[in-house]
């Protein structure tokens, strides 16, 4: 692609050369001074154009290194429609939300460890399990074999009926805890997890929600009126352990697979959360979650959808996200086959497009002032988002 700023510089140089050529020869000294000044002006303007071009390139191609001492790093790891989101704070404390699937020769555990190494850490301090479905807790035993873990955080007992598919992975997780190698926290709404560098406040856990609005929230939610009342959910999804993670002025919401019935309870008639900067789409962008009463009321700047090619990314859920007030971009881990080209994010905001999967991920680098960038490991390009007033 031709570089337009440089083309502009070439035209400017040519134009200035023409101006020099038509200077009057009647005064030799005056001509010399005018020519010299004109060329200095040309060179100065050309340098400014080149510097501006370099700044443009750096803002769209490069990103600060992952070990920058004052930033929060968030890795959105491709676990094929499950969840594995790794936070690494400026203090090098780490929080992993969910562990992906079991089986697959440790595929998801290996991808998490690769992201941890990229972040410069050799231990995961806290592993938070949102709920006991296999795409969230299934990879925990394999992960524990590959990297030291300090503390597991969860919502307590599994309340799904015996014989449900979640019972097998829950039993494996219980065996892991029973080794006595790890600290264990059962989190309740309103708890703040002891992670240095971010404030990780529990919003939902085991079917319970924060009872009162957070500071600055509590305004009437106008989006409740046109949002249908969803049926109750009786699975582990509605018991998801959800957190609001605050870093400086930046607010990041991850509610696991919390379903629309619990979203409505949390957000209607008043918005208990307030505005959110980064919304990690509930339930991988599945239609049972991510209702307008939540998504439109929190008015996120961006949304990250951790979907797979054939899991999550429901057309209706993506449409709710894309129509949210003030949304600047929607990013996805995969192109959603179900949603088709019309409803997916634009290609440069998708880590893994159609075709063979190569485990590309997204990395968000956040600053305390509320500014952040998102890097797509496939394209090697990053998109900056400046701080807002």
Token pair 């969910």 is found at 98
Could you tell me which residues come within 8 angstroms of residue 263 by beta carbon, excluding any fewer than 6 positions away? 255, 282, 289, 290, 291, 293, 294
Each residue's pLDDT expressed in tens, for the chain with a length of 389 residues: 433 333 333 333 333 333 333 333 334 344 343 444 444 444 455 444 444 434 433 344 344 444 456 999 999 999 999 999 999 999 999 999 999 999 999 999 999 999 999 999 999 999 999 999 999 999 999 999 999 999 999 999 998 876 566 788 999 999 999 999 999 999 999 999 999 999 999 999 999 999 999 999 999 999 999 888 999 999 999 999 999 999 999 999 999 999 999 999 999 999 999 999 999 999 999 999 999 999 999 999 999 999 999 999 999 999 999 999 999 999 999 999 999 989 999 999 999 998 888 899 999 999 999 999 999 999 999 999 999 98
Q: State residue 56's pLDDT score.
A: 37
Neighbours of 143 (CB within 10 A): 24
- Burial (CB < 10 A; 0-12, 13-18, 19+), residue 73, is buried
What would the 3-class secondary structure string for the chain be?
A: CCCHHHHHHHHHHHHHHHHHHCCCCCCHHHHHHHHHHHHHHHHHHHHHHHHHHHHHHHHHHCCCCCCCCCCEEEEECCCCCCCCEEEECCCCCEEEECCCCCCHHHHHHHHHHHHHHHCCCCCEEEEECCCCCHHHHCCHHHHHHHCCEEEEEECCCCCCCCCCCHHHHHHHHHHHHHCCCCEEEECCCCCEECCCCCEEEEEEECCEECCCCCCCCCCECHHHCCCCCCCCCCCHHHHCCEEEEEECCEEEEECCCCCHHHHHHHHCCECCCCCCCEEECHHHHCCCCCCHHHHHHHCCCEEEECCCCCCCCCHHHHHHHHCCCCCCEEEEEECCCCCHHHHCCCHHHEEECCCCCCCCCEEEEECCCCCEEEEECCCCEEEEECCCC
Q: State residue 311's pLDDT score.
A: 96
So what's the architecture of 72-385 in CATH?
4-Layer Sandwich (3.60)
Q: State residue 69's pLDDT score.
A: 61
Before 47, cis peptide (omega within 30)? no
Report the distance separating Cα 279 and Cα 54, nearest Å. Answer: 32
Report the distance separating Cα 82 and Cα 312, nearest Å. Answer: 9
Report the distance separating Cα 230 and Cα 260, nearest Å. Answer: 6
Q: State residue 167's pLDDT score.
A: 85
Phi-psi region of 379 (alpha: psi -120 to 50; beta: other; left: phi over 0): alpha
Q: How do the domains of the chain map onto residue ranges?
A: 4-61, 72-385
Written as six digits, the tokens of 184 are 């264990």
The count of C-alpha atoms lying within 13 angstroms of the C-alpha of 202, restricted to the half-sphere facing its C-beta, is 26
Q: State residue 323's pLDDT score.
A: 97
Is 288:261 a contact under the CB 8 Å cutoff?
A: no
C-alpha angle 315-317-319 in degrees, rounded to nearest 5: 70
Is 145:112 a contact under the CB 8 Å cutoff?
A: no
């Amino acid at each position: 692609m031709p570089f337009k700023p440089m083309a502009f510089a070439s035209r400017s140089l040519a134009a200035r050369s023409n101006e020099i050529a038509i200077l009057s020869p009647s005064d030799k000294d005056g001509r010399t001074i005018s020519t010299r000044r004109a060329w200095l002006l040309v060179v100065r303007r050309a340098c400014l154009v080149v510097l501006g071009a370099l700044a443009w390139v750096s803002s769209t191609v490069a990103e600060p290194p992952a070990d920058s001492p004052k930033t929060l790093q968030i890795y959105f790891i491709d676990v094929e429609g499950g969840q594995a989101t790794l936070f690494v704070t400026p203090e090098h404390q780490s929080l992993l939300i969910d562990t992906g699937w079991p089986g697959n020769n440790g595929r998801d555990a290996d991808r998490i460890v690769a992201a941890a190494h990229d972040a410069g850490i050799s231990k995961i301090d806290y592993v938070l399990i949102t709920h006991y479905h296999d795409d969230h807790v299934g990879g925990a035993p394999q992960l524990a074999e590959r990297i030291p873990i300090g503390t597991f955080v969860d919502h307590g007992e599994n309340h799904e009926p015996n014989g449900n598919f979640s019972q097998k992975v829950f039993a494996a997780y219980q065996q892991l805890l029973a080794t006595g190698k790890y600290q264990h926290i059962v989190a309740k709404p309103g708890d703040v997890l002891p992670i240095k560098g971010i404030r990780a406040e529990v919003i939902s856990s085991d079917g319970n929600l924060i009872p009162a609005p957070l500071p600055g929230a509590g305004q009437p939610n106008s989006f409740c009126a046109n949002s249908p009342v969803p049926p109750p959910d009786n699975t582990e999804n509605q018991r998801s352990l959800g957190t609001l993670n605050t870093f400086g002025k930046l607010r990041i919401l991850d509610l696991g697979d919390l379903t629309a019935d619990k979203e409505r309870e949390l957000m209607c008639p008043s918005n208990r959360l307030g505005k959110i900067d980064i919304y990690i789409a509930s339930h991988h962008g599945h239609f049972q979650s991510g209702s307008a009463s939540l998504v439109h009321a929190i008015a996120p700047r961006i949304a990250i959808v951790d979907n797979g090619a054939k899991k999550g990314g429901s057309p209706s859920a993506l449409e709710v996200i894309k129509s949210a007030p003030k949304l600047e971009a929607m990013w996805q881990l995969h192109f959603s086959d179900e949603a088709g080209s019309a409803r997916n994010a634009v290609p440069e905001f998708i880590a893994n497009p159609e075709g063979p999967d190569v485990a590309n991920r997204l990395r968000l680098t956040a600053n305390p002032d509320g500014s952040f960038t998102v890097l797509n490991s496939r394209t090697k390009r990053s998109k900056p988002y400046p701080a807002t007033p």
